[in-house]
């Protein structure tokens, strides 16, 4: 069982991997303001202890996000600061949604190389992911903007079948840790093992990049994804969730 300190570090890794170009640190809270689909890039993350009164901080965030034309969303964990924040947001009619499990596992040396998995440049890879997800153009643009601004080493992979790509994923490495992100496969080709193949390739790539521990995030409602990652050896460490005035 990992300690609370270890879990906080795991949360920091996830925040670093999703860091947008526009963010501010405000009395222990990380305020992110990049428009787009990724809530981690446009939410308030109450990461570290605070000194200012909670009501003052909430008023400041409300004004800032209103000026930016963004909904005020809070990314919450079991160790968000202050501990009363989750209850206060609930009293303010900010419902809880999109509960997500953070999972991790030790990485083993890859047993083989999959020759049909290719490393793509970021713009091409983002186009592949957008096509597989059916994402609109504005989501694709902010996705690429965020990744191009990252200070961390990343490798975009895609699984080819014939003339097209049928699955994709991204490895983001910080120290001995690798985050696996944007794991997606062709929705018209279910139960063909595409998700498992691309995830195994991501783990092999992470090993080659020097990482020895891997983590990923999967929504608790995604039963198929949870079963896939459990079968590969990932174990749940903690949950995070969002609170806001409405589900965006």
DSSP classification of residue 52: S
Tens of pLDDT, residue by residue over 78-114, are: 999 999 999 999 999 999 999 999 999 999 987 655 5
Distance (Å, rounded) from C-alpha 164 to C-alpha 128?
A: 9
Same domain, 95 and 179: no
pLDDT bucket at 5, cuts 50 / 70 / 90: low
Can you give the CATH number for the domain in which 201 is found?
3.40.630.30
Same domain, 127 and 89: no
pLDDT of residue 3: 62
Domain end among 67, 101, 135: 101
pTM of the full structure: 0.92
pLDDT of residue 54: 96
Domain end among 101, 117, 146: 101
Omega prior to 82 cis, within 30 of 0 = yes
Same domain, 63 and 129: no
Same domain, 86 and 128: no
The parent domain of residue 30 ranges over 4-101
Distance (Å, rounded) from C-alpha 9 to C-alpha 79?
A: 11
Are residues 67 and 24 in contact, defined by beta-carbon separation less than 8 angstroms?
no
pLDDT of residue 52: 96
Domain count, the chain: 2
pLDDT bucket at 241, cuts 50 / 70 / 90: very high
Same domain, 89 and 115: no
Same domain, 137 and 206: yes
Same domain, 55 and 75: yes
pLDDT at 246 over 60: no
pLDDT of residue 164: 92
Same domain, 72 and 95: yes
pLDDT at 1 over 90: no
Mean per-residue pLDDT over the chain, rounded: 92
Domain end among 57, 78, 101: 101
Give me the DSSP letters along 158-210.
Answer: EEEETTEEEEEEEEEEETTEEEEEEEEE-TTSTTSSHHHHHHHHHHHHHHHTT
Q: Is residue 239 in a domain?
A: no
Distance (Å, rounded) from C-alpha 229 to C-alpha 237?
A: 13
Q: Map tokens 């999703």 to a residue.
A: 18
Tens of pLDDT, residue by residue over 133-189, are: 998 888 898 899 889 989 999 999 999 998 899 999 999 999 999 999 999 999 988
H or E, element range at 112: none
Angle at 154 between CA 184 and CA 71, to 5 degrees: 65
Same domain, 202 and 123: yes
From the number of C-beta atoms within 10 Å of its C-beta (0-12, 13-18, 19+), residue 202 rates as buried
Angle between helices 223-232 and 194-208 (to 10 degrees): 50
Strands 177-185 and 164-174: antiparallel
Tens of pLDDT, residue by residue over 41-62, are: 999 999 999 899 999 999 999 9
User: How many Cβ atoms are within 10 Å of 139's Cβ, its own excluded?
Assistant: 18
């Amino acid at each position: 069982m990992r300690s609370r300190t270890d879990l906080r570090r795991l949360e920091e890794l996830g925040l670093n991997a999703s860091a947008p170009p526009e963010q501010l640190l405000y009395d222990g809270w990380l305020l992110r303001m990049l428009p787009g689909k990724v809530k981690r890039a446009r939410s308030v993350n109450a990461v570290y202890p605070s000194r200012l009164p909670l009501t003052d901080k909430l008023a400041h965030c409300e004004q800032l996000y209103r000026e930016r034309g963004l909904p005020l969303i809070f990314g919450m964990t079991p160790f968000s600061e202050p501990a009363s924040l989750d209850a206060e947001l609930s009293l303010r009619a900010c419902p809880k949604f999109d509960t997500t499990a953070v999972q991790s596992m030790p990485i083993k040396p890859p047993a083989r190389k999959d020759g049909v998995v290719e490393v793509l440049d970021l713009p091409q890879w983002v186009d592949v992911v957008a096509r597989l997800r059916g994402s609109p153009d504005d989501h694709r643009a902010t996705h690429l903007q965020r990744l191009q601004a990252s200070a961390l080493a990343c490798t975009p992979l895609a699984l080819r079948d014939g003339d097209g790509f049928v699955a994709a994923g991204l490895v983001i490495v910080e120290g001995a840790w690798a985050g696996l992100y944007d794991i997606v496969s062709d929705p018209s080709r279910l139960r063909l093992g595409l998700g498992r193949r691309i995830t195994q390739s991501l783990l092999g790539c992470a090993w080659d990049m020097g990482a020895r521990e891997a983590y990923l995030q999967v929504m608790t409602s995604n039963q198929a994804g949870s079963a896939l990652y459990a079968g590969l050896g990932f174990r749940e460490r903690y949950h995070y969730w969002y609170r806001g005035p409405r589900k965006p």
